[in-house]
Copies of this chain bind each other. A is one copy, B any other.
Amino acid sequence: MSRTAATRLPEMMSANRADLDALLDRTVLGHFAFTGEDGRPVSLPSVIARWGDQILTHGSTGSRWLRRIAAGVPVAVSVATVDGVVVARSAYASSLLYASAVLFGAFTPLAGEDKLAALDVLTDRLLPGRTAEVRRPTAKELAATTMLAMPIGEWSVRLSDGWPEDPEPDVAGPAWAGLIRFGVPPATLAGAPDLRPGIPVAPSAGQVRGIR
């Protein structure tokens, strides 16, 4: 059986690539699972960004885990957001409102123009338009950074939604039921202590909304 086939609750599975992209474009953390050099599983969170049909991640060339996945070992990346709570009339029927995805594959290092372009994608993913506000990366910075890409190939998405579904005896009982939905977190800005006077807030930072 394929790893992306649902064994249960198949109605929550989506085969719609647009659902995957929507989730990837509203989350910034992926959790990277791979097998360590000692054969045991490792899981690490790191920033991801979708670049067309690829997932990007990056970090220091000194990072041990990044070196491991840069070598092309099999990787699973999971992403998830908690969007609320489905409050049923029993603990059993209650659940989270969430969206989640798992992507399987392997990463390859990017170099040259691809690496530069991917860095811009990651920067603008966190702060839209930021690359136009700051200087270009230096050769030293580029040399200190590993940029990796994984094709979006084998994946699955799971979306929970809808109202609680209680059996009739519970509906007739005294317990409340409903949905709690979480909104977008507020974002507050503070200038750095060493910010020189007269420098206005960056438009990129001013428009950031909280990441849930």
Taking Cβ atoms with an 8 Å cutoff, the residues of A that contact B are 3, 7-8, 28-29, 31-36, 38, 40-45, 47, 60, 62-64, 74-80, 82, 84-85, 87, 89-92, 94, 96, 98, 100, 102, 104, 119-120, 123, 126-127, 130-131, 133-135, 137-138, 141, 145, 163-164, 166, 170-196, 199-202, 204-205, 208, 210-212
Contacts and interface: CB of A to CB of B under 8 A. Distances in A.
A80 B29 contact: yes
Contact of A175 (B29, B133, B178): B133
A47 to B, nearest CB: 6
A63 B120 CA distance: 40
Q: Which of A33, A96, A102, A120 has the most CB of B within 10 A?
A: A33
B92 A40 contact: no
A208 B173 CA distance: 22
